[in-house]
Structure 1
Amino acid sequence: MQLIGFLNFIKRNIAFVFLLSLFSFGLLFSMISSYMGFMGEDNLFSSSIRKFNFFLAFIGVIISLKSKLYQKFLTKELFFLYLLYLYYIFIVKIDLSNIDAAGIVMPTKDKQLIMFRMTRLVFFPMLAVLLFRIRGLNLFKLAKAILISLLVSLILALLVLNLSFGGMVDERLSIEGELNALNMGYWGATLFVLCLFFVTKEKNKIQKIVISSLGFLIAFYIMLISGSRGPILYSLIIFYYYMFITSAFYKVKKIITIVLVFILLILVLDYTILTDIIGTYNPNLEERLISSVEDQEISGRDKLYEIGINQFLSKPITGDYFLLKSGHYKGEYPHNILIEALMTLGLIGAIPFFILLIKTFNRVHYMIKRNDNTSWIALIFLISFFKGMSTWNLYGNLLLWISMGIILSYKMNCIK
């Protein structure tokens, strides 16, 4: 019995470290390496954490088989998600082999990196996500550890920029490597939603006040100085959605609603009051917000969307290509995962993907409404989905696929 208990303890800890690594170690090690002067995506730290994640995913698959997690939690929705992503890998591989015919110039190394990301960095970890369901895993402690890891990472980001808290940035925040203004903004948004969960579930008042206060401050500040509009908008949407469908904020719900109405009145009467305040810290973001209101400017996304939609319409059944094939943005992704799914997979692949998204959203609603120790994974899915609606690509959106996999492992009747 003692041996069985010890083995279960080892399994839980492997699951804990694996999931913590998936959700936060990439950013943490990137910031540590940048702080130490090792810049670029392919430095020793980045490659090491990728190998570490792959190794843990391999162990995770073995544990899942031995613990019969697939038998218990492999729902038909999760099974079809696996099949869909395998089909996605197959389509992208064919597209890469025909890249010259598509008129896109791409180095061999970049082609290899795309397949490496899809197979080893996304699909293989997806196979191990059922470790989230392993018996005895403390999901609240896991969420708390991810929150603290992200908090430390973003503080290191400020140090890398040599920017003291409260300092001004005259242009969009930028860090070498995978991090850029958009990524930094969305990491800030991810920290924000985790703080929302933490403040409703943490019972230690001192930790709740200290960690959540610092987390909210860093999250808002990072989103502000990143110069990106999406993270701020989507964070507010998720916040009010979370607040209204759970009972966690019932004591302050009226106050927060009044604040929202007050902000909306300001925006209607004279939105420049808010943009002037934002401009104190990031003039670039102020200009972008004003242009969004006055000129409906969306950073050229409309042109990307138009090209992507036309590409889909050229081959609506089977899909055309996974990258844009024409225009100034040839070789880029369309910055919208729904359009990307249509133009890459066609209706054959996009319709199943949309159905799985709908099923995920249904589960997310009840997870957040219930607000137990699983609700944070629903919040991460939401911010990952919204990120995919304005930036990044579909095939490499790790947190989207991972969170979808975990959420779809829950049967709908169990969540309700």
Structure 2
Amino acid sequence: MQINISKLINYFIVANIFGFPMVVVLNLFMGFSTSIGSIVFRALILVSAILLIANAIKIKKQVSLQSKLLIFFWIMYSVRLIYDLSFRQLYLNTTHYKSEYSIYLFAFGGILFPILAIIVNAKYINYSKLSNTFLKASFLQGVLVVFGLYKIFGLNITKIATQRHLYMSDELGENLTNGSPLNPILVSRCGALLIVLFIAKVFLLKSKNNFLIKYLSIPLGLILIVLGGSRGPLLSTIIILFFSYLFFLYVNRLNTNKILSQIMVVLLSGYLLFFTYQAFSESIGVLDRLNSFDSNNNLETGRSKHWNSAINQFIDNPFLGDQIFDKHLWIYPHNLILESFMALGIIGGFLFGYLIISNLLKYKSILRYNINALPVLILFAVFLMFGMSSGGLYNSTEFWVTLTLISIYNINNMKRLSKYE
């Protein structure tokens, strides 16, 4: 039986981007430890990546410059990881990890090997089918997360919306692990992804979808953002929707009257959002956190302390970098750009910045050849914004996978890479 590599690599990509929350919820329903479930999921991703790489060894490959630089960055970062974890044993300073192996599994099993598998199988990737699968996977992910919340809280919506941490030790069943990775940020992210993918597919690409996805995607996405109460995904969604709106105006080349009417709708929507913010900012978690973000009493709390630590560590060690953890809480500094300078110094930081900028500059050329790649480009933009306020270099799988999907799109040989479209 002949193996369809194109279908396998597409499923592999979808699993890397959307699979983890689904696995968490399934573990909750089956009563298994979410920590063990997470390890099993990462291990399966690693094994799948190795098999895909092995299958592509004999295939003639043309690797883009961005892909080569991406691999080089990860060689640098891998050296830093191994040195800091196995030789300096910095994980002993943090309460977030029991050993270095959990970080290795995230970094190598969850990111390095998957991006290598995508790079060597680039010619098999079908961006059109990927885009179609993304919205369906995101919708399924959102539905499962809602069921996961129901598993923990039942119908006590007020309790979910007003608490920052969704999982408390006394609210978990006997068979559930304390500290489930289904945290508020992840819940809000699921909602944000669903909304932006729906806008991209239905309004920008005018794709047809089934009844449930067509009419429930936006309400489901908004519910998840509110219940998660995380401001990063909310702000990212607003920014992406704004640029999607500009793209819509550009593509449709609307006349002046239509543009003015569209702007009036946007302004009216903004007024309604502002009214909601003023009226309910203290009772809805995500709005309350937005309100506290501008409070003078909170300028030196939370993310800013992580960022200040990362900046100071880079200033003290500008050439080779300092270490993979910031010295505030001995975890990643919740900003991928600052982390790259903190961990790898000037060379690593500028290389990371170049990877981001060079791939963003490819957007127009990619869309010229394949408009169906738009959801991939939007996902990368979303995960990039997520990475500016949450996540680290060694555990931001979705960011690295979407970055790789753009990196392998070789502008000089676009027709070859779109062979399977």
**What residue in structure 2 maps to residue 261 of structure 1?**
267
**What residue in structure 2 maps to residue 201 of structure 1?**
205
How far does residue 384 in structure 1 lie from its aligned partner after superposition? 0.9
- CA spacing shift, 1:27–1:132, aligned 2, 3 Å: farther
**What residue in structure 1 maps to residue 397 of structure 2?**
398
1:158 aligns with 2:146: yes
Give the secondary-structure state (helix, strand or coil) at the position aligned to 2:56: helix
- Indicate conservation of the 8 Å contact 1:321/1:343, yes or no: yes
Q: Answer with 92-101 or 303-312: which moved more.
A: 92-101
Aligned counterpart in structure 1 of residue 56 of structure 2, from 48, 60, 64 = 64
Give the superposed CA RMSD. Answer: 3.0
Give the secondary-structure state (helix, strand or coil) at the position aligned to 2:80: helix
Amino acid at match of 2:268: F
Give the secondary-structure state (helix, strand or coil) at the position aligned to 1:241: helix
- Indicate conservation of the 8 Å contact 2:337/2:352, yes or no: no
**What residue in structure 2 maps to residue 18 of structure 1?**
12
* Structure 2: stretches of 5+ with no match in the other structure: 168-178, 416-421
Give the secondary-structure state (helix, strand or coil) at the position aligned to 1:128: helix
How far does residue 339 in structure 1 lie from its aligned partner after superposition? 0.9
- Indicate conservation of the 8 Å contact 1:193/1:235, yes or no: yes
- TM-score (normalised: structure 2): 0.83
Higher relative contact order (CA 8 A, sep 6+): 2
Aligned counterpart in structure 1 of residue 231 of structure 2, from 217, 229, 252 = 229
1:363 aligns with 2:369: no
Q: Note the 1:310-349 alignment, pairs <5 A.
A: 310-325=312-327, 329-349=328-348
How far does residue 385 in structure 1 lie from its aligned partner after superposition? 0.8
- CA spacing shift, 1:108–1:370, aligned 2, 3 Å: closer
- CA spacing shift, 1:284–1:203, aligned 2, 3 Å: closer
Q: Answer with 378-387 or 404-413: which moved more.
A: 404-413
In structure 1, how many angstroms separate the alpha carbons of the residues matched to 2:334 and 2:407? Answer: 25
In structure 1, how many angstroms separate the alpha carbons of the residues matched to 2:226 and 2:308? Answer: 29
Amino acid at match of 1:42: I
Summarize deviations over 1:338-380 as a string: whole Å, max 9, x none: 1111110000211111111110111235445777121211111
In structure 2, how many angstroms separate the alpha carbons of the residues matched to 1:415 and 1:242? Answer: 24
* Structure 1: stretches of 5+ with no match in the other structure: 1-5
- CA spacing shift, 1:107–1:148, aligned 2, 3 Å: closer
How far does residue 386 in structure 1 lie from its aligned partner after superposition? 0.6
- Indicate conservation of the 8 Å contact 2:13/2:401, yes or no: no
In structure 2, how many angstroms separate the alpha carbons of the residues matched to 1:184 and 1:101? Answer: 30
1:49 aligns with 2:30: no
- CA spacing shift, 1:376–1:149, aligned 2, 3 Å: same
**What residue in structure 2 maps to residue 3 of structure 1?**
none
Q: Note the 1:111-260 alignment, pairs <5 A.
A: 111-130=100-119, 133-135=122-124, 138-162=126-150, 167-168=157-158, 169-172=161-164, 174-175=166-167, 176-199=179-202, 200-201=204-205, 203-204=207-208, 207=209, 210-246=212-248, 247=250, 254-260=260-266
**What residue in structure 1 maps to residue 302 of structure 2?**
300
How far does residue 245 in structure 1 lie from its aligned partner after superposition? 2.7
- The total of aligned residue pairs comes to 394
Amino acid at match of 1:55: V
- TM-score (normalised: structure 1): 0.84
In structure 2, how many angstroms separate the alpha carbons of the residues matched to 1:56 and 1:255? Answer: 50
In structure 2, how many angstroms separate the alpha carbons of the residues matched to 1:217 and 1:132? Answer: 37
- Indicate conservation of the 8 Å contact 1:105/1:331, yes or no: yes
Amino acid at match of 1:351: F
- CA spacing shift, 1:309–1:366, aligned 2, 3 Å: same
- CA spacing shift, 1:294–1:349, aligned 2, 3 Å: closer
Give the secondary-structure state (helix, strand or coil) at the position aligned to 2:315: helix
- Indicate conservation of the 8 Å contact 2:43/2:109, yes or no: no
Aligned counterpart in structure 2 of residue 81 of structure 1, from 59, 70, 77 = 70
- Indicate conservation of the 8 Å contact 2:96/2:331, yes or no: no
Percent identity between the aligned chains? 22
- Indicate conservation of the 8 Å contact 1:184/1:226, yes or no: yes
Amino acid at match of 1:62: A
1:274 aligns with 2:276: yes
In structure 2, how many angstroms separate the alpha carbons of the residues matched to 1:241 and 1:369? Answer: 18
- Indicate conservation of the 8 Å contact 2:34/2:180, yes or no: yes
